[in-house]
Amino acid sequence: MSSTDDSAIELPIVSSQDRGSVRFDFDNTYARLPERFYARVNPTHVRAPRLIQVNSELALKLRLEPDVLESPLGIEILAGNQVVEGSEPLAQAYSGNQFGNFVPLLGDGRTNLLGEIVGLDGVRYDIQLKGSGPTPFSRRGDGRAALGPVLREYLVSEAMAALGVPTTRALAAVTTGQSVVRETVVPGAVLTRVAASHLRVGTFQYFASRGDTDGIRVLADYAIARHYPEVAQSKQPYRALLDGVISRHAHLVAQWMLLGFIHGVMNTDNTSISGETIDYGPCAFMEAYEPRKVFSSIDRQGRYAYSNQPHAAHWNLTRLAEALLPLLVLEEGSEDAGVASAYATLAAFGPQFEAAHREGLRRKLGLTTEREGDAELAQDLLDRLAANAADFTLTFRRLSDAVTGPEGDAGVRVLFSDPAAYDVWSAAWRRRLEEEPGTAEGRAAMMRAASPIVIPRNHLVEAMIAAAVERQDFQPFEEFLEVVSNPYEDKPGMERYILPARPEECVTQTFCGT
């Protein structure tokens, strides 16, 4: 694929001498794949980059020195103004179903994969700049990212990581010193994103839609080597790959549901092969429990509503199965057997999701054993939350106080518009708890580990963004980041971060605004 004019801009290569101790031990396995998998393209120069934040803890895990990333040279690298030696920047090709509609050519329209680094944990990570300029896949886009969405992605992805959810992470963010035009003119920014990889269901669809079976095979072998090495020796590695992706997404979406997370734009190009949460756009955490809740302004049909997420994930995985079908057919020896193999594999999603979700709900309710009626007990609570507009996060968190004795009930009751609705349920819950082994303290600890005290509440996310965009005040971002990085820890003085929005503060809609 040919490059755009922008890639013709000559970028200085940082030599070993003048990069000082900037050591990015880049490896570039993706750049070794066939040329049709990507377009080689460098980030585009920005005028006046300034550092917002470096994620020191993550940098160290990637064998990078935070001080160096924060240095003038580091900032140039994080802004895409300098390409470090060993990096081979590229934009990945992919397709995707956007709100159901298949788009044959999407691809990285505003990101550059700089290369891969093997972290201290032995895992290979992609290092990617997002908002780093146009690529051959930009279509009509400007290749840029706005400050607000960059801060949102940084904060929410780090919150998700701290909550224990598989996710891409944020290594750094810089402002560019240039404006971007969205609904209004806003500051531009670049996010450095880290992922186990950026392979998507849409990457498989790209080759499948072109009838490029060889491309599908190369990609599948790459995905297996990188994410599912244990299946390489299996008799049917491609079926095992599909099994693996399905299983990871069943668990991932169960975690989302247990935290009230709404991704908002579960298109197949935003569905990762590694099983990580990726592409934080109009995402939001639910406050008052409402199964049909939608935040995204563009999700008019509620396709990606909270309660529809398991269904949407299954739909996306069905698209993956379709893309892998040529390999499944070869593996099984006939068309019919290949299709049967795909169906059999997909059928595992529902039960795996249900089991993970049920198990998570049991932990949130302090139950270590499984009894008949547990699912009904949990559902009854959810129904009462919905009927009483009770805050999802706080209800479960405060149940960990109530589990040690009725003096903890008051904090839960006040969350219900009709507190008596809680009393009826809690009586049944306490009867069930009598059948549990172990101590009340042990149960409370388990419950606190399953239900965070802090989530990135939408009104605070919006206020944090407004402070940065309108007043260049990054203090709220830094403070909030610190708080969401310890979401299970109850510390004094955090009421502001813990309590739900007052009615006048409530955010009802989120915007891509990318």
Q: What residues are annotated to the active site?
A: 269
The amino acid at residue 308 is: N
Q: Using an 8 Å Cβ cutoff, are 217 and 34 in contact?
A: no
Q: Closest distance between Mg ion and the C-beta of residue 513, in Å?
A: 14
Of 139 and 471, nearer to ligand AMP (C-beta) is 139
Nearest Cα neighbor of 483 from 155, 259, 173, 164 is 155
Least CB distance to ligand AMP at residue 348 (A): 27
Q: Which does 141 bind (CB under 5 to 8 A by kind): ligand AMP, Mg ion, none?
A: ligand AMP
Q: Please name every residue paired with 83 in a beta bridge, in sequence order, or none if there are none.
A: 13
The entry of Mg ion, ligand AMP, none that residue 266 binds, CB within 5 to 8 Å by partner kind: none
User: Which residues on adjacent β-strands are paired with residue 192?
Assistant: 129, 172
CA atoms within 13 A on the CB side of 421: 17
Closer to ligand AMP by CB, 172 or 186: give it: 186
Task: Quote the least distance from Cβ 103 to ligand AMP, whole Å.
Answer: 8
- Closest to Mg ion by CB, 200 vs 362, is 200
Residue 401 interface partner, choices ligand AMP, Mg ion, none, CB cut-off 5-8 Å depending on type: none
Binding site for ligand AMP (CB under 6 A): 106-110, 137-138, 141-144, 269-270, 279, 281, 514
Indicate the residue among 207 and 280 with the shorter CB distance to Mg ion: 280
Using the minimum distance from each CB to Mg ion, give the nearer residue, 100 or 177. 100
Sequence-distant (≥ 6) Cβ neighbours of residue 28 within 8 angstroms: 86, 87, 88, 115, 116
For Mg ion, the binding residues (CB under 5 A) are 270, 279
Helix (H) or strand (E) holding 350: helix 349-364
User: If contact means CB under 5 to 8 A according to the sort of partner, which of ligand AMP, Mg ion, none does residue 142 touch?
Assistant: ligand AMP
Q: Which residue is nearest to ligand AMP (CB)?
A: 141
Q: Residue 332 binds which entry of ligand AMP, Mg ion, none, with Cβ cut-offs from 5 to 8 Å by kind?
A: none
Give the 3-state DSSP-derived string for 210-251, with helices as H, strands as E and coil as C. CCCHHHHHHHHHHHHHHHCHHHCCCCCHHHHHHHHHHHHHHH
Query: Nearest-CB residue to Mg ion?
Result: 279
Positive or negative: CA dihedral 135, 137, 139, 144:
negative
116 binds, among ligand AMP, Mg ion, none (CB under 5 to 8 A by kind): none
CB of 136 to ligand AMP, least distance (A): 11
Residue 387 CB, nearest distance to ligand AMP (Å)?
35
Of 162 and 189, CB closest to ligand AMP: 189
Cβ at position 233, least distance to ligand AMP in Å: 35
Phi, psi for residue 485 in degrees, rounded to 5: -80, -10
Query: Nearest to residue 400, comparing CAs of 439, 365, 428, 427?
Result: 365
Question: Per-residue b/e over 51-78, b at no fewer than 16 CB within 10 Å?
Answer: bbbbbbebbebbebbbebbbbebbbbbb
- Listing DSSP states for 189-206 in one string gives EEEEEEES---BHHHHHH
Give the largest Cα separation in the chain, rounded: 71
514 binds, among ligand AMP, Mg ion, none (CB under 5 to 8 A by kind): ligand AMP
Cβ at position 128, least distance to Mg ion in Å: 12
If the CB atoms of residues 279 and 299 are measured against Mg ion, the closer one turns out to be: 279
Tokens of 392: 């999802």
* Element counts in the chain: helices (H) and strands (E): 18, 14
- We find the least distance from the C-beta atom of residue 346 to ligand AMP, in angstroms, to be 24
At residue 133, the 3 state secondary structure works out as coil
Q: Tell me which residue has tokens 């904060």.
A: 155
Q: How far is the C-alpha of 510 from the C-alpha of 282, rounded, in Å? A: 5
Residue 250 and residue 254: Cα distance in Å, rounded?
Answer: 6
**Between residues 137 and 261, which has the closer beta carbon with respect to ligand AMP?**
137
Given ligand AMP, Mg ion, none, residue 143, with its beta carbon under 5 to 8 Å by kind, binds ligand AMP
